[in-house]
């Protein structure tokens, strides 16, 4: 798995990305992120839940309690329009970061 040091800041993008597919609750988000990245990116739920609160406060996602017929409660999150709008520049920023790090490597080998 990818180390804790370098994956900082990835949670936001990962959450927005999985929510782009449709509404999800936290536990399922964690499962999908791990599945879709083939285990490379993994978030503990203790990291995920506080992040979901922060992102809700920023207006990027909106959570709603749902109670299934069996009586189990889930907090189902969906992207807000602001969250959708955030995704594209966020991805662009990540792409820029990758480009910048690549340039540093190339300069060293030039």
Partner DNA sequence: GCTTATATATAAGAATCTTACATGTAAGGG
Partner DNA sequence: CCCTTACATGTAAGATTCTTATATATAAGC
Tell whether residue 20 is a contact of a second copy (CB under 8 A): yes
Strands ordered across the beta sheet of 73-79 = 24-25, 73-79, 61-67
Query: Which two structure tokens, joined as six digits, stand for 43?
Result: 């978030």
In 1-110, alpha helices (H)? 10-20, 26-36, 45-57, 81-109
Residue 18 makes contact with a second copy by CB under 8 A: yes
Judged by the rule CB under 7 A, the positions of this chain that interact with DNA are 4-5, 7-12, 25-28, 31, 43-47, 49-54, 68, 70-76
- In whole angstroms, what is the distance from residue 22 CA to residue 46 CA? 22
Q: In angstroms, rounded to a whole number, what is the distance separating the alpha carbons of residues 70 and 77?
A: 20
Among DNA, a second copy, none, residue 62 binds (CB under 5-8 Å by kind): none
Q: Specify the stretch interacting with a second copy by CB under 8 A; choose among 16-24, 43-51, 52-60, 70-78.
A: 16-24
Applying CB under 8 A, which residues contact a second copy?
2-3, 5-10, 12-14, 17-18, 20-21, 32-33, 36-38, 40-41, 90-91, 93-94, 96-101, 103-105, 107-109
């Amino acid at each position: 798995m990818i180390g804790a040091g370098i994956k900082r800041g990835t949670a936001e993008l990962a959450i927005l990305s999985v929510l782009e597919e449709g509404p999800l609750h936290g536990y399922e988000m964690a499962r999908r992120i791990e599945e879709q990245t083939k285990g490379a990116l993994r978030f503990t739920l203790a990291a995920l839940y506080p992040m979901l609160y922060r992102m809700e406060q920023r207006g990027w996602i909106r959570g709603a309690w749902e109670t299934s017929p069996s009586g189990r409660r889930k907090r189902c999150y969906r992207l807000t329009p602001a969250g959708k709008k955030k995704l594209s520049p966020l991805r662009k920023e990540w792409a820029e970061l990758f480009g910048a790090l690549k340039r540093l490597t190339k300069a060293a080998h030039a």
